[in-house]
């Protein structure tokens, strides 16, 4: 079975089961882990590791195996985005129930996740179009291949970085205000946000997916419930250390 079909059915099953069956709703935060898996798989297939390559290099990238590049773009830009938004819903729910008055970080975090999803979608869409054209009669010209590769690089980096900074920063501030997670985790989130806004943002983009995986596990350990305003904090930091 093609790997894209595997992700298709896995995504459909996960979303459907965690929505329709209340007993399985507690697994919804694990969509963050699914997002990390989809992103790693997408990178492994697309292999977009060159930074502003030559026209010849970009042409070779798209024409060597356009089907592989297309599959990777589809996994990251479609299924990965669905898991991202599902995960953002868990963050929103956990923060929203704990915030009482004042500046509300839950909707800001959700907005950041939506911008992040746009970055994934735009970049992957560009890759998919270029790969699809490379696999059709007439192919793709080296100049066009270079332009589309660079456009994917810039669009993804700019939009994704801004979205992740807002998403993680708002979640960090909200956590510090509500003690959703340990204080050190909230401060680490803010430090990561600052890193995302520096010239070495690409390093922190990788770390952001570690953050997503950690938050996913913390929320799952809580069972997906949000009735106790400090229970997540206690679950993550049983001795009460800030």
Q: Which DSSP string corresponds to the chain?
A: --HHHHHHHHHHHHHHHHHH-GGGGGGGGGHHHHHHHHHHHHHHHH----SS--HHHHHHHHHH-HHHHHHHHHIIIIIHHHHHHHHHHHHHHHHHHH--SSS-HHHHHHHHHHHHHHHHHHHHHHHHHHHHHHTSTT---HHHHHHHHHHHHHHHHHHHHHHHHHHHHHHHHHHHHHTSS-HHHHHHHHHHHHHHTSTTHHHHHHHHHHHHHHHHHHHHHTTT---STTHHHHHH-TT---
Q: For each of the chain's 242 residues, which pLDDT tens digit applies?
A: 577 777 777 887 888 878 777 777 888 899 999 999 999 999 898 888 888 889 999 999 999 999 999 999 999 888 899 999 999 999 998 998 888 766 689 999 999 999 999 999 999 999 999 999 998 888 999 999 999 999 988 888 889 999 999 999 999 999 999 888 999 999 999 999 999 999 898 899 999 999 999 999 999 987 644 434 444 544 444 444 44
The whole-number pLDDT of residue 102 equals 62
The whole-number pLDDT of residue 18 equals 80
């Amino acid at each position: 079975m093609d790997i894209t079909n595997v992700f298709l059915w896995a995504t459909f099953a996960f979303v459907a089961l965690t929505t329709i069956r209340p007993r399985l709703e507690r697994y919804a935060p694990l969509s963050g882990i699914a997002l990390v898996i989809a992103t790693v798989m997408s990178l492994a297939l697309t292999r977009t590791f060159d930074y502003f390559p030559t026209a010849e290099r970009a042409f070779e990238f798209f024409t060597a195996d356009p089907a592989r590049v297309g599959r990777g773009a589809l996994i990251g830009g479609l299924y990965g985005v669905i898991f991202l938004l599902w995960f953002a819903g868990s963050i929103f729910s956990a923060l929203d129930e704990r915030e009482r008055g004042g500046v509300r970080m839950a909707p800001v975090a959700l907005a950041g996740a939506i911008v992040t999803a746009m970055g994934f979608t735009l970049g992957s869409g560009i890759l998919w179009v270029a790969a699809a054209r490379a696999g059709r009669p007439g192919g793709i010209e080296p100049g066009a291949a270079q332009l589309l590769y660079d456009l994917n690089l810039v669009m993804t980096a700019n939009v994704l970085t801004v979205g992740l900074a807002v998403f993680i920063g708002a979640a960090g501030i909200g956590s510090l205000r509500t003690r959703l997670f340990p204080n050190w985790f909230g401060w680490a989130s803010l430090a990561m946000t600052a890193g995302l806004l520096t010239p070495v943002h690409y390093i922190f983009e990788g770390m952001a997916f570690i953050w997503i995986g950690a938050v996913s596990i913390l929320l799952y350990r809580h069972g997906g419930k949000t009735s106790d305003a400090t229970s997540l904090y206690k679950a993550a930091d049983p001795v009460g250390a800030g």
